[in-house]
Amino acid sequence: MNILLLGSGGREHALAWKIAGSPLLTKLWCAPGNAGIAREAECVALDVADHEAVIVFCKTNKVDLVVVGPEAPLAAGIVDDLAAAGIKAFGPGKAAAQLESSKGFTKDVCRDNGIPTAAYERFRDAGAAKDYIHAHGAPIVIKADGLAAGKGVVVAMTLDEALAAVDMMFGGGFGTAGAEVVVEEFLRGEEASFFALCDGEHAMPLATAQDHKRAFDGDEGPNTGGMGAYSPAPVMTDEMCRRTMDEIIVPTLRAMREKGAAFKGVLFAGLMITEQGPKLIEYNVRFGDPECQVLMLRMRGDIVPALFAACDGQLNHFSMRWFPDPALTVVMAAKGYPGSYAKGTRIDGLDDAAKAEGVEIFHAGTKEEDGRILASGGRVLNVCALGRTVAEAQARAYEAVDRITWPEGFCRRDIGLRAVAREKGG
């Protein structure tokens, strides 16, 4: 198989690493890739937003499958354009990708199909949104409707925070993504990430994970795209996974089919596990980042047949097995992230760090210049490890982190804290 992977982050490095291990693979390209991905695939300087250029590349190189990593090209309809050109692609079409590209769309799907989620209203006017907030009080959640790189959500603990978030979003803080906002009920419980592979008709549950969104230890600081994750999520018992499939995933697939927008690809449900059971916080229509990294470490066997089965409507004949050992990843980010940060700083010690037991390092925002690895993004490295327990995976990951020399970087030191406490009976 000739496979083209689109994207340049840690999620794509993890996917490239997993795809590269397939005996079915003939050639793997990644566009545009990064310094880590270049060790698994041939990186090509394609503009992912230029769909015609991607199509020409696929035809010239006889690409059998395109795997779309990030959400932006999915929301822009790249899968539809590739399909129209006769090229198979893993991921949803533009209409189905609205499950991520419009939070309001997803909330309406939930309301219309009895899918458990937080109570909400949609607003295009700041005054009306503020009236709703005053009527409901804080804590309350304000979300930009469109794509905002994982940062378009404000969990406001006070009225002033909530009102400021409305002004910020309608004031262009997230560009066009904030032209409409969703204001919703604050849910209490434990968050978890649930992934299902979908072929339009059938859904196959994958592993669960839990991520850490806040920038600093103790869940302090601003929301980020994710500072670390571990899998499996202890809160996702067999019963909770079954309920998530029955009450959330399956009704969503049915609803999208009825809309003429059958969902194929990965459906990533961000959940709140409440006293009443699982409730949907939001959908993403691709693998999470950094959750994908821990999923790929725990996945047994070959991912490539699963990707084809999702494209071809064959998931009902398919099953996926997982290593029982937990996996954990620590994100190393540039100081200042998620705000402004320096680029081009040098990172040393990666080869030594990768030798730590059970460790795999995925690059998120790196480039190589004259044999040196330089930071080129906000989230820069994913230091991952497997262990017999979460505590062991955590210890291995931080041992590797401590072998990396990068004065301009930082990471949280408490990834997996809640799961480790559970293991100790805390």
Residue 223 has pLDDT above 90, yes or no: no
Q: What is the mean pLDDT of residues 319-343?
A: 96
Question: How confident is the model over 286-301, as pLDDT tens digits?
Answer: 999 999 999 999 999 8
Pick the CATH number of 327-425 from 3.40.50.2000, 2.60.40.740, 3.90.600.10, 3.90.1010.10: 3.90.600.10
| Architecture (CATH level 2) of domain 190-317 | 2-Layer Sandwich (3.30)
The alpha-helical segments, DSSP class H, found in 245-279 are 250-258
- What predicted TM-score, i.e. pTM, was given to this entire model? 0.95
Predicted pLDDT at 100: 94
Chain-centroid distance of CA 392 in Å reads: 24
Predicted pLDDT at 426: 59
Predicted pLDDT at 425: 78
| CATH code, residues 125-179 | 3.30.1490.20
Residue length, the chain?
Answer: 426
Q: What is the mean pLDDT of residues 66-82?
A: 97
3-state DSSP call for residue 255?
Answer: helix
Residue 423 banded pLDDT, cuts 50, 70, 90: confident
Q: Is 89 exposed, middle or buried (0-12, 13-18, 19+ CB in 10 A)?
A: buried
d(CA 372, CA 126): 48
In this prediction, what percent of the chain has a pLDDT beyond 70? 99
Predicted pLDDT at 22: 97
Predicted pLDDT at 207: 95
Higher pLDDT: 175 or 218? It is: 218
Exposure string for 385-407, b = 16+ CB within 10 A, e = fewer:
bbbeebbbbbbbbbbbbebbebe
Question: How confident is the model over 235-258, as pLDDT tens digits?
Answer: 999 999 999 999 999 999 999 999
- Is the peptide bond preceding residue 338 cis, with omega within 30 degrees of 0? yes
Predicted pLDDT at 11: 98
Closest CA to 37 of 266, 377, 399, 268: 377
Average pLDDT across the chain, whole number: 95
Could you state, in order of their start, the residue ranges of all structural domains in the chain? 2-91, 125-179, 190-317, 327-425
Asked if the domains at 190-317 and 327-425 fall in one CATH topology, the answer is no
Question: How confident is the model over 107-157, as pLDDT tens digits?
Answer: 999 999 999 999 998 999 999 999 999 999 999 999 998 887 767 888 899
2-91 belongs to which CATH class? Answer: alpha beta
